Amino acid sequence: MSKSKINVAIIGLGFGAEFIPIYQRHPHANMYAICQRNADSLHKIGDAFGIEKRYQDYDELLTDKEIDAVHINTPIPNHAEQSIKALRAGKHVACTVPMATTVAECEAIVKATQETGLTYMMMETVVYAREFLFMKELYEKGELGKIQFLKASHQQDMDGWPNYWPGLPPMHYATHCVGPVLALTRNEAEYVSCFGSGTIRSELHHHYHSTFAVETAHIKFRNSDLSAHIYRSLFDTARQYRESFEVYGSKKAVEWPLIEGRPLVIHTAKKPEPDIPEEVQSPDYAHLLPAPIQHFTTGGVYDEDSNQHLSFTQGAGHGGSHPHLVHEFISALKEGRSPYPNEKQSANITCVGILAHESAQQGGKIISLPDFTFS
């Protein structure tokens, strides 16, 4: 885009409020408008951040010709419809995860993006977290050697979360573990096989007709000798919140700590056995960002943790990823390039989870990813 600053509207101000000051301080963004159905919340946040343009109605917002891009942070069931509406209204789209809840919705977003010539980016936090960026740097420098295998998990206790969360199949919200295993080498999933394990309590079964406490899947990569293992749990499985990502190379491997806040463990091949593992603190990658937003890799929107969204505090600040996500989206628009993940990559990541649950319901049946998710 040729204009000096991109006018951004944020839709949904729970988790979405975390991004307001980042856009306000990004040198190429203008935090133009916010949208929230609840008037009290809308005006409280608008006043707190000095945002004059406020909407309670999303459809009305989309008629505003001054808006260049929307960042959608609404509940999961709304993502597909709101993304498609925005694209058809001529707005670029950044959307929190997952992209959609069905394969057909993913395809519709890909189609709308391609037909309009606009930009879509799924705002997957893990692929911009400092730990992932550290492993990516090791990979790109050749320090890991040949990548042999990848593994990731996302375990979270969702009891007490509202609306659509109770009984949600674990793999329906799998992008936090699918994303990193595909993103490290920029691969795509070709097919997936998944098994369910255990049983959540009976009162949760009817919401999605799903009983599994844990779902564990293998992903076969397209045009590659690689595969990855991922596992997810949301209810009735004892575990501290964990979004883990591990990579095993011929020279080095990097493993996630079992307890949040502990160092990563690097294993180096051919050393004496006691010397193979080494604990390493992941560096921060704020230096990759414009100076005005660098401090957001180590801090959220508010000074007090009690004001931050539960997913942010549970997830240890999402690895400092929020300013990187904003910068990737805005930079892609300014430079006229495709962001990561773009519409097809987002669809591939999201459809892995959707199809993994289908596989689990069919006893581990191998299910191929649809062609529209391939670059």
In a domain, 159, yes or no: yes
pLDDT of residue 305: 46
In a domain, 186, yes or no: yes
* Same domain as 259, residue 173: yes
Please tell me the distance from the alpha carbon of residue 196 to that of residue 358, in angstroms, as a whole number. 10
Question: Strand order of the sheet with strand 69-72?
Answer: 53-55, 29-35, 6-11, 69-72, 92-95, 120-122
Share of the chain above pLDDT 70, in %: 95
Q: How confident is the model at residue 192 (pLDDT cuts 50, 70, 90)?
A: very high
* Same domain as 134, residue 95: no
Give yes or no for residue 308 having a pLDDT over 60.
Answer: no
Please tell me the distance from the alpha carbon of residue 74 to that of residue 35, in angstroms, as a whole number. 10
**pLDDT tens digits, 93-112:** 999 999 999 999 999 999 99
In a domain, 268, yes or no: yes
Rounded to two decimals, what is the model's pTM? 0.95
CATH of the domain at 27: 3.40.50.720
Q: How confident is the model at residue 207 (pLDDT cuts 50, 70, 90)?
A: very high
**206 phi, psi to nearest 5 deg:** -75, -20
Strand pairing class (367-368; 189-197): antiparallel
Arithmetic mean of pLDDT, 310-321: 65
Please tell me the distance from the alpha carbon of residue 8 to that of residue 66, in angstroms, as a whole number. 9
**pLDDT tens digits, 133-154:** 999 999 999 999 999 999 999 9
In a domain, 257, yes or no: yes
In a domain, 1, yes or no: no
Arithmetic mean of pLDDT, 108-132: 98
Give yes or no for residue 276 having a pLDDT over 80.
Answer: yes
Give yes or no for residue 300 having a pLDDT over 90.
Answer: no
Give yes or no for residue 304 having a pLDDT over 50.
Answer: no
Asked if residue 233 lies in contact with residue 155, where contact means CB atoms within 8 angstroms, the answer is: yes
* Same domain as 169, residue 277: yes
User: How many domains is the chain partitioned into structurally?
Assistant: 2
Give yes or no for residue 232 having a pLDDT over 50.
Answer: yes
Arithmetic mean of pLDDT, 230-238: 98
Q: How confident is the model at residue 162 (pLDDT cuts 50, 70, 90)?
A: confident
**pLDDT tens digits, 258-272:** 999 999 999 999 999
Domain that holds residue 113: 6-124+323-342
SS3 13: coil
Which DSSP string do the residues of 341-373 spell out, in sequence order? S-HHHHHHHHHHHHHHHHHHHTTS--EEPPGGG
Cα 353–chain centre separation? 13
Mean confidence (pLDDT) of the chain: 95
pLDDT of residue 1: 66
- Give every CB contact of residue 137 below 8 A, 6+ residues apart in sequence: none
* Same domain as 244, residue 109: no
* Same domain as 140, residue 120: no
